[in-house]
Chains A and B, each alone.
Chain A
Amino acid sequence: MMRSARSGALAVCAGAVLLSGCYNLRPSTGGGQTSFSGQRTVNAGDIALPSGYRAEAVATGLTYPTGVAFDGSGRIYVSESGYSYGEDFTAPRLVRVEQGGGLKTVVRGGRNGPWTGVTFADGAFYIAEGGVLEGGRILRVTPEGGQSAVISGLPTMGDHHTNGPAIGPDGWIYFGQGTATNSGIVGKDNLEFGWLTRKPQFHDIACEDIVVTGENFTTPNYVTGEGQAETGTYVPFGTGTTPGQVIKGRLPCGGSILRVPAGGGAPQLVAWGFRNPFGLAFGPGGSLYVTENGYDDRGSRPVWGAGDPLWRIERGRWYGWPDFSAGEPLTESDYKPPGDPQPTFLLQHQKAPPRPVANLGVHGSANGIDFSRSDSFGHVGEAFIAMFGDQAPDTGKVTNPVGFKVVRVNVSNGAIEDFAVNKGRKSGPASYIGGGGLERPLGVKFSPDGSALYVADFGVMTMTAKGPNPVRGTGVLWKIVRE
């Protein structure tokens, strides 16, 4: 009897250990942790879709495509980023996709990418220029290529940039502002991103007055290369804070949704407390929905296990960064990285943030978003979201590629379902699992009649010991229709 009990207990323990997968012992196996050489193979037949749908490649050879738009005649345009993580600068472009897949340049930008997205309204294109070197801008571009700035000087020279834009029912331009840092503290990870060397005084900017807890982080001095530095939140590298210190908010700020009149003018705050609000779209009932790239397991204050929330925006609310993830405090044990300290609050809080509509896969990078609005395509009212895919191990370890697909979300109950994924026994980008399917979907947009979903696939970006290694000319524009 005793022996049977022991055997049973042993079996339970063995099962439990095996189920855990020994996380700490396993190497990271992210989708970018592969090698790539030569040309990208493109084969729509390698993409798995729900029954009754089919995909085709509309254009290939793009360099870092990010967004899709249609002019008043329904012609297709794609924004090319002009910048990729991995510090690769190219010329950002807006290109028109001709019949047969040819590309005609409408306008080129300067060395201030990434152009993170594009939309079209009232006879002009509006482009979000990330502003990695000179600060973010919202650009107005005419179909003839005339270019002007609706707003400029946005503080997005850090990890994350100016994103969007989307035109609201009120005719204003809504756009996202990413934060400078992963979780509120400038540190070594920002040196590796490249910007701490360029902009050593740059830091996160609050939208409203905040009171800090005075938590500071001691690190080597990465700016001077000598001695140590103590760094608090919402201040430059090497600057400490004290408990109860008030940091004044101002506009334009980071980690926020702002809006500006289409004709230009002062920006207004819509909501804030986001990390990197990337995709913006107005959904059923005219509500604004935003995808957010959640925390990474990196830097002076790493955060573990943070998903990528989908938010329904309430005007004027604060959404939790740098102390909450998807409405939950980072002081919960879920967010403690193995081997690193439990995050503590950086701010003194009066109230908690709301809960998200959905919470997508950790490190999956939920980016572009659009809503189906036509029965001819189906899933009317659901959000379609491009998942760029993990950048493991730099952003944190994963046990399998995360993202590299398009998902749909029922915004009434938060149910997430894959929509376009690569075929195969495992999920992942084509460069990882083989075949000619998806790499890194970044932008999604339904055609004006709602019958087709276009997917801007950024292309191949592997992760190396030196960081991201993006490959020019491997971007693809996919089109998905219902047969």
Chain B
Amino acid sequence: MRPPALVRHVVACAALVALAALMLAGCGSARRSDPIKGSVTINDPRVAHGRDVWMMKCNRCHPGGEAGLGPATNDKPLPGFLIAAQIRTGLGAMPAFTKEEMSDADVAAVIAYMKAIRRADAKPM
């Protein structure tokens, strides 16, 4: 039996508010670099490729995943599909990246790298 429409609406709104609050909160510090969190060893070739793409395409505006010209990325627990959507479409001041500039494989690798850095705590990846 489906829950009443009112309940579904309340649940949807609650989820929306939770998502917004999560993003607004930034979920703590964005600092993940070696001096702060310890060195990270990258063993996964896809993560390593993601790091290379990140360094050339993303790092200048989000240095080390912290805020700089643009906002921090390390403290935004967005799902991969939303990150991919923003890379492809751009948003606000962030430019869109075409498939010529960043292939689908590059985008997937960057997302893997971003997620790995998010949870950086000196464990191999």
Would you give the 0/1 interface string for A423-435, flagging 1 where the beta carbon is closer than 8 Å to chain B?
A: 1011100000000
Say if the beta carbon of A399 comes within 8 Å of chain B.
yes
Known: A20-B92, A338-B93. 12 other contacts (CB 8 A): A14-B20, A15-B19, A19-B76, A19-B82, A19-B91, A21-B70, A23-B92, A307-B60, A332-B95, A399-B68, A416-B59, A425-B31
Give CA–CA (A414, B93) in the complex, Å.
25
Give CA–CA (A362, B95) in the complex, Å.
15
Residues of chain B at the chain A interface (Cβ within 8 Å): 5, 8-9, 12-13, 15-16, 19-20, 23-24, 29, 31, 33-36, 38-39, 51-52, 55-56, 59-61, 63-64, 66-72, 76, 78, 82, 85-86, 91-96
Whether the Cβ atoms of B92 and A22 lie closer than 8 Å is yes
Whether the Cβ atoms of A364 and B71 lie closer than 8 Å is no
Give CA–CA (A12, B12) in the complex, Å.
12
Knowing A399-B70, A399-B71, A402-B69, the reply to whether A3 touches B5 (Cβ < 8 A) is yes
Say if the beta carbon of A7 comes within 8 Å of chain B.
yes
Knowing A11-B16, A15-B19, the reply to whether A358 touches B66 (Cβ < 8 A) is no
Contact of B33 among A14, A19, A305, A417 (CB under 8 A): A417
Whether the Cβ atoms of A14 and B19 lie closer than 8 Å is yes
Whether the Cβ atoms of A19 and B78 lie closer than 8 Å is yes
Knowing A23-B70, A418-B35, the reply to whether A15 touches B93 (Cβ < 8 A) is no
Whether the Cβ atoms of A24 and B15 lie closer than 8 Å is no
Interface size class, chain A = 35 or more
Interchain nearest-CB distance for A333 vs B (Å): 5
Contact of A421 among B9, B23, B33, B59 (CB under 8 A): B33
Whether the Cβ atoms of B63 and A402 lie closer than 8 Å is yes
Residues of chain A at the chain B interface (Cβ within 8 Å): 3-4, 7, 10-12, 14-24, 48-51, 304-308, 326, 332-334, 338, 355, 358-364, 396-400, 402, 413-421, 423, 425-427
User: B31's closest neighbor in chain A, by CB?
Assistant: A427
Interchain nearest-CB distance for A47 vs B (Å): 8
User: A338's closest neighbor in chain B, by CB?
Assistant: B93
Give CA–CA (A14, B61) in the complex, Å.
22
Interchain nearest-CB distance for A62 vs B (Å): 24
User: B122's closest neighbor in chain A, by CB?
Assistant: A51
Knowing A20-B92, A21-B70, A361-B59, the reply to whether A7 touches B35 (Cβ < 8 A) is no
